[in-house]
Chain A
Amino acid sequence: MVATSAPTPVLECRDLCISYFTRAGEIPAVVDFNLKVMPGESVGIVGESGCGKSTVALAVMQYMGKNGRIVSGEILFNGRDLTAMSQEELRQLRGSQISMVYQEPMASLNPAMRIGRQLMEVPLHHEKVSEAEAHDRALDMLGRVKLPDPQRILEAFPHQISGGQQQRVVIAMALLSGPSLLLLDEPTTAHDVTVEAGIVELIGEIAREFGTSMIYISHNLGLILETCDRITVMYSGEAVEVGTVKQVFDRMRHPYTRGLFNSIPLPGADKYARPLVPIPGQLPLPHERPDGCNFGPRCDYFKEGVCDHGLIEMRPVSRETGHESRCRRFEEIDWDAAAPKRHEVEEAPLGRKVLEVQDLKKYYEIHDRSLMALLTGKEPRYVKANEKLDFDAQEAETVAIVGESGCGKSTFAKVMMGLERATAGKLLLDNQDIGQLPVQRRDKAMVGYLQMVFQNPFDTLNPSHTVGSQIARVIRKFGVERDPDKVKERVLHLLDTVKLPRDFYLRRPRQLSGGQKQRVGIARAFAGNPKVVVADEPVSALDVSVQAAVTQLLMDIQFEHRTTLVFISHDLSLVRYLADRVVVMYLGHIAEQGTTDEVFRPPYHPYTEALLSAVPIADTSVQKKHIVLEGDIPSALNPPSGCPFQTRCPRKIGKICEDEVPPVREFGAGHRIACHLTPEELTAMDPVIVLSEHADETALQPEDAAAPSGDD
């Protein structure tokens, strides 16, 4: 993997420094950055938001905007310095030699042009080929990115195809000119896991088939493991660790990299035995970086006099393999020691049954208001958002509802909160049916009993009111306290509980970071002493290290108050980590439910199996079964007949799946799978994720031999 045969790298960044110039002065975004991409190599850049990874990509494309400038260093593309090129030369390179795929496919495609036209522009512009030739190439490329029915897609407008297909079209567009370098900036972040798995597989195939070099930018370590050869970990504008994926994942030599790994839930993590370890503190603002090591203030191994002065250089960990770390103390640190344990958590004993869902259905009626519909007397159609939901939750229990977008999990949350009324069935909260009861008609105690933590931290707080007043409103509304002094005291106490400083009382939401806002959101949800809290993807919009902290906090408060937590999520790693029971939903139906152990072990529902295999896991010792689902989730307006999953199921038996709704099969107490496969067939499945303890040792041996033993 290291340069021995190929002489010139496709891309080389040398001592790159990039700054943005704003009213506040010069803000260094990237400092002293080195990167080498060899032909055919995939390099991952990983880091949290604000670490400068996207700035690097923009610098390579030379799209720095009005106020961004490369202060020093050079970017060599096939040996030529990009910073010295004229606008005309750059235009020739962009889109033909260097292509970029952005996060949001809809923003990359022109909504007013047919896809075929947009694709044809690439060869028409760069290679001046004929119309017919361009058309043929576009058609061919759509087939190669595995799009079904390329001819139809060529004729379609971007909004007529699904998000996953759009991203494939964007990748096809990037590949049409046969670039030697492909930049991918979080290409799958906006997609569901099963769609993501398909795109990741495609990216891997591209690397093999076209021999294109790639820079893959992501915050997800698991994705980097699946796609890249080498990895650069960035923190606060600097690369802190560089090496092959195996080196960095198995023998990390920078405290930040280690912190990252400790804060993501890996298959071995368990909320009782091995809790997540969040990185303390916050990312420093670009103009408030500390002297010496940027990570110093948050580092467990920080040593005064060593880490807090001067410029910290990248130093090689082992000379031969190109593994480098920007840490002064990596030789002294005992990397094999277990991660510092936060505190012991004992298992919470479950209490009585609090929530019971029985045959709950929620249909939305769609009226066709056109004149034709009136004349022909067309029947209203239904969107079946929830179909026969059936599960329950106990006191102090965490029940996770898992599924991809459009599976009806948010609709269920709305029914529960009383914003929508159930079409049929019962939703019993402490034996009181609230399924038909809109929130205005529930009594105050009931409303306070059931609260919610929302997904988007930037939306969850009203920007016009102070943090304190928003929490205080909940306390007064539910009559927990009335006396103004006592209300204030309780708000401050809640701020302590969510580990925020007390002077946040007077702050406005825009002065808070995403993680802090989410903490306020949690404080607000718990302000009325709720018994059941619905958390709708509470951490999915946060950075990895913040995610761990907020997750821990949520669990600590839940433990203390013995609250029932209904945790809605698409992130199976997180669910496995924190949930006691899991409900897997697909297209409004429950596909499988059971305790976490039961769901993550065979027998699986075929959908659970596919979901599990689609989740990227940042652990080299994990071996996964490889299942990629075909196609997209069908529309809930026009669901498939029989089993909802039959259109994409890799284990489809045949006609019975299309005709009959699958029976719910019981495996032990409470583990239920809705599938036509016989119990024997289901039990005979292999586990998707295998932790192979020996795999990593054998794989590491050659490197161990290469690196001198005095390494650590």
Chain B
Amino acid sequence: MATVTVDVPERGWLERLESTRAVIALILLMWVPLNVYVMFGRSFGDFADYLLVPAVPATALLYFLTLRAFRESRIALIGATLVFFWLFMAVSAPFLPLVDPNEPIAPFTPPLTEARDHFFLLGADFKGRDMLSRAIWGCQRVLVWGVTATLVAYVIGTMFGLLAGYLAGWWDEVISFIANVFLSFPVMVLFIVILNYLGASGFNIVIAVTFASAPAIMRIVRGLTLDIKTRDYVFAAQTRGEAPLWIMLVELLPNVRGPLIVDACLRLGYTTVAITTLTFLGLGLQPPDPDWGLMIRESAKTALLWKFSYMLLVPALSVSSLILGFNLLADGLREISLKD
């Protein structure tokens, strides 16, 4: 028994690309540049656009892999297509032949008309800025802040959920009580209170969303944990004398993942709504950079005239399509998980 080998079958490039490690690498390759670009892009100056270069092929490749993975569910395919459409727009916005979204050209130009040597596919707003350009640039901020906020809420919610569920007793009592207090506030009131107190910025939106979402996530994880901790494999780990932290992270966490992913897709939708609403209320991201909520807010008064309703419709439909994409993705994932 000198050498022991396990036969690993030779894998093609596609299988290798579908391995967990490759997918995670691709996601990071797409997500990190986009995040840095949106959050800290200004400090990079002219160099900023180059940040997004690796993200474009990564996104395309990820979309291709997603299509392959979800080929069993039509709903999931439609959802993934909608979400990836906006993701692709977000990472490729600097390279698309678009005019500067903040440059006033021809105010009140209706869609599909030409004005001042520029063809406005979706028209121009009351300041004369290109709606198409603004809609595409605007998705960056919604996507980045929405996903970041949801992610942070999940990390915190899952952590407390595991603690409350696994350790039970006083941990559970205290954590559940605090969660119940937060859950008893109406979400919008909570947002407004937090943002008024901390001031309006992207990072504060993350904090607000965490306070609003984490308690609900904690409840889900706690429930799942209470169920899973009675399984024999958890007893097996306990009888091995494993530390509680190890049991929570290695034995429990991977097994609560299934329902959480579905819930995360739905919650991404809610967060997108929340961020858009906050910006609309003037509590979120600040002008002049394009943002869907901001676009709705700015054009709200003008668009009361039927003739200018496109100013409202373009950002509104953009938000809706993204949220629809997240929701369909959640439905599809649930459908796929039920099939096995």
Residues of B within 8 A of A488 (CB): 4, 6
Identity of the chain A residue whose Cβ is nearest the Cβ of B256 in the assembled complex: A464
Q: Is the interface of B mostly helix, strand, loop or mixed?
A: helix
**Does the CB pair B254–A456 fall under 8 Å?**
no
**Does the CB pair A452–B4 fall under 8 Å?**
no
Q: Is B236 an interface residue (CB 8 A)?
A: yes
Min CB gap A544→B, angstroms: 22
* Chain B stretch 220-253: residues in CB contact (< 8 A) with chain A: 231-233, 235-236, 238-243, 250-251
Residues of A within 8 A of B233 (CB): 459-462
Q: Contact partner of B6 among A23, A459, A460, A502, CB < 8 A?
A: A502
**Does the CB pair A503–B7 fall under 8 Å?**
yes
**Does the CB pair A474–B255 fall under 8 Å?**
no
Residues of A within 8 A of B4 (CB): 485, 488-489, 492
- Please report the C-alpha to C-alpha distance between residue A419 and residue B241 in the assembled complex, in whole angstroms: 10
Q: Is A442 an interface residue (CB 8 A)?
A: yes
Listed from nearest, the 8 A-B pairs whose CB atoms lie closest are: A464-B254, A454-B232, A459-B232, A447-B241, A462-B233, A417-B239, A460-B232, A459-B231
* Chain A stretch 433-453: residues in CB contact (< 8 A) with chain B: 439-440, 442, 444, 447, 450-452
* Chain B stretch 235-290: residues in CB contact (< 8 A) with chain A: 235-236, 238-243, 250-251, 254-255, 257
Interface residues of B (CB under 8 A from A): 1, 4, 6-8, 231-233, 235-236, 238-243, 250-251, 254-255, 257, 339
Residue of A439, A462, A521 most packed against chain B (CB within 10 A): A462
Residues of A within 8 A of B243 (CB): 440
Identity of the chain B residue whose Cβ is nearest the Cβ of A534 in the assembled complex: B239
Identity of the chain A residue whose Cβ is nearest the Cβ of B8 in the assembled complex: A506
Residues of A within 8 A of B251 (CB): 462
Given contacts A463-B255, A505-B6, whether A442 and B241 have CB atoms under 8 Å apart is yes
- Please report the C-alpha to C-alpha distance between residue A414 and residue B240 in the assembled complex, in whole angstroms: 13
Q: Is A477 an interface residue (CB 8 A)?
A: yes
Min CB gap A194→B, angstroms: 26
- Please report the C-alpha to C-alpha distance between residue A198 and residue B1 in the assembled complex, in whole angstroms: 56
Identity of the chain A residue whose Cβ is nearest the Cβ of B243 in the assembled complex: A440
Given contacts A454-B232, A460-B233, A506-B6, whether A439 and B254 have CB atoms under 8 Å apart is no
**Does the CB pair A474–B240 fall under 8 Å?**
yes
- Please report the C-alpha to C-alpha distance between residue A348 and residue B7 in the assembled complex, in whole angstroms: 38
Residues of B within 8 A of A456 (CB): 232
Identity of the chain B residue whose Cβ is nearest the Cβ of A469 in the assembled complex: B250
Residues of B within 8 A of A417 (CB): 235, 238-239
Q: Is A524 an interface residue (CB 8 A)?
A: yes
| 28 A–B contacts from the bound complex (CB under 8 Å) | A417-B238, A417-B239, A418-B241, A419-B238, A419-B239, A439-B239, A439-B241, A442-B241, A447-B239, A447-B241, A454-B236, A455-B232, A456-B232, A460-B233, A461-B233, A462-B233, A462-B255, A464-B254, A464-B255, A473-B240, A474-B240, A477-B242, A488-B4, A489-B1, A492-B4, A503-B7, A521-B236, A524-B236
Residues of B within 8 A of A455 (CB): 232
Min CB gap A493→B, angstroms: 7
Residues of B within 8 A of A450 (CB): 239
Identity of the chain A residue whose Cβ is nearest the Cβ of B4 in the assembled complex: A489
Residues of A within 8 A of B232 (CB): 454-456, 459-460
- Please report the C-alpha to C-alpha distance between residue A477 and residue B339 in the assembled complex, in whole angstroms: 37
- Please report the C-alpha to C-alpha distance between residue A695 and residue B232 in the assembled complex, in whole angstroms: 46
Chain B proximity mask over A1-41: 1 for CB below 8 Å, otherwise 0: 00000000000000000000001000000000000000000
Q: Is A465 an interface residue (CB 8 A)?
A: yes
Given contacts A439-B241, A464-B255, A465-B254, whether A419 and B6 have CB atoms under 8 Å apart is no
Residues of B within 8 A of A492 (CB): 4, 6
**Does the CB pair A440–B241 fall under 8 Å?**
yes
**Does the CB pair B235–A454 fall under 8 Å?**
yes
Identity of the chain A residue whose Cβ is nearest the Cβ of B7 in the assembled complex: A503
- Please report the C-alpha to C-alpha distance between residue A592 and residue B328 in the assembled complex, in whole angstroms: 62
Min CB gap B6→A, angstroms: 5
Min CB gap A576→B, angstroms: 26
- Please report the C-alpha to C-alpha distance between residue A455 and residue B235 in the assembled complex, in whole angstroms: 11
Given contacts A464-B255, A489-B4, whether A418 and B242 have CB atoms under 8 Å apart is no
**Does the CB pair B241–A503 fall under 8 Å?**
no
Min CB gap A502→B, angstroms: 6
- Please report the C-alpha to C-alpha distance between residue A521 and residue B235 in the assembled complex, in whole angstroms: 12
- Please report the C-alpha to C-alpha distance between residue A463 and residue B232 in the assembled complex, in whole angstroms: 11
- Please report the C-alpha to C-alpha distance between residue A439 and residue B234 in the assembled complex, in whole angstroms: 14
**Does the CB pair B236–A460 fall under 8 Å?**
yes
Residue of B1, B8, B231, B243 most packed against chain A (CB within 10 A): B231
- Please report the C-alpha to C-alpha distance between residue A477 and residue B238 in the assembled complex, in whole angstroms: 12
Min CB gap B167→A, angstroms: 13
Q: Contact partner of B1 among A419, A451, A493, A506, CB < 8 A?
A: A493
- Please report the C-alpha to C-alpha distance between residue A451 and residue B8 in the assembled complex, in whole angstroms: 32
- Please report the C-alpha to C-alpha distance between residue A447 and residue B1 in the assembled complex, in whole angstroms: 29
Identity of the chain B residue whose Cβ is nearest the Cβ of A505 in the assembled complex: B6
Residues of B within 8 A of A485 (CB): 4
Given contacts A455-B232, A459-B233, A503-B6, whether A447 and B238 have CB atoms under 8 Å apart is no
- Please report the C-alpha to C-alpha distance between residue A447 and residue B194 in the assembled complex, in whole angstroms: 50
Residues of B within 8 A of A461 (CB): 233
**Does the CB pair A451–B6 fall under 8 Å?**
no
Residues of B within 8 A of A477 (CB): 240-242
**Does the CB pair B6–A452 fall under 8 Å?**
no
Chain B proximity mask over A478-519: 1 for CB below 8 Å, otherwise 0: 100000010011001100000000110110000000000000
